[in-house]
């Protein structure tokens, strides 16, 4: 059981590092950019594929999440990295917060269930030592 608890702990730390922490790193490392050329959006005009250019002149491309573009405009100011972008920087923090609200309760539930199980099934201590005369 202790191995299972250790595996669950490693999985939990991995989940926290992989998803919410990634959004926080993007929040701190991204920069404003401007889309160039055609911004190709889905039928709902919500998720769009675009190419963007940074103030330094370097380019990036990929999906721009939640970029509402009903008029088919070509130029937007976005917050981006080399291969990711969002229409507003605050979306990254909201995304991290939503992910944590799913992960933290799961951690607590698994921890409480594991603790309860360990109380009902204590680890085997082996035979009691016999007193020597």
The Cα 94–Cα 23 span in angstroms is 9
Q: Where are the domains of the chain?
A: 2-92
What are the average pLDDT values for consecutive 10-residue runs of the chain, which has 133 residues?
A: 72 72 74 78 74 91 73 73 80 74 76 78 67 69
Cα distance between residue 46 and residue 57, in whole Å: 26
pLDDT of residue 72: 60
pLDDT of residue 129: 66
pLDDT at 10: 78
pLDDT the model gives residue 125: 66
Residue 133 CB contacts under 8 Å (≥ 6 apart), including other chains? none
Q: Which residues pair with 52 in a beta bridge?
A: 35, 60
pLDDT of residue 1: 61
β-strands 59-65, 48-53: how paired? antiparallel
What is the distance between the alpha carbons of residues 12 and 41, in angstroms, rounded to a whole number?
A: 35
Contacts of residue 81, defined as CB under 8 A and 6 or more positions apart, other chains included, come to 26, 29, 30, 31, 60
pLDDT in the model for residue 57: 92
């Amino acid at each position: 059981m202790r191995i299972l608890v250790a595996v669950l702990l490693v999985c939990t730390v991995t989940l926290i590092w992989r998803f919410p922490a990634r959004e926080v790193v993007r929040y701190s490392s991204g920069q404003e950019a401007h889309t160039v050329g055609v911004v190709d959006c889905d039928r709902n005009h919500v998720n769009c594929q675009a190419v963007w250019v940074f103030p330094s002149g370097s380019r990036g491309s990929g999906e721009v999440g939640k970029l509402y573009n009903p008029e088919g405009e070509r130029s937007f100011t976005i917050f981006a990295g080399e291969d990711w972008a969002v229409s507003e920087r605050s979306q990254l923090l909201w995304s991290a917060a939503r992910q944590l609200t799913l992960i933290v309760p799961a951690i607590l539930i698994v921890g409480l269930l594991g603790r309860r199980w360990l109380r009902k099934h204590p680890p085997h201590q082996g035979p009691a030592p016999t007193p020597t005369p």
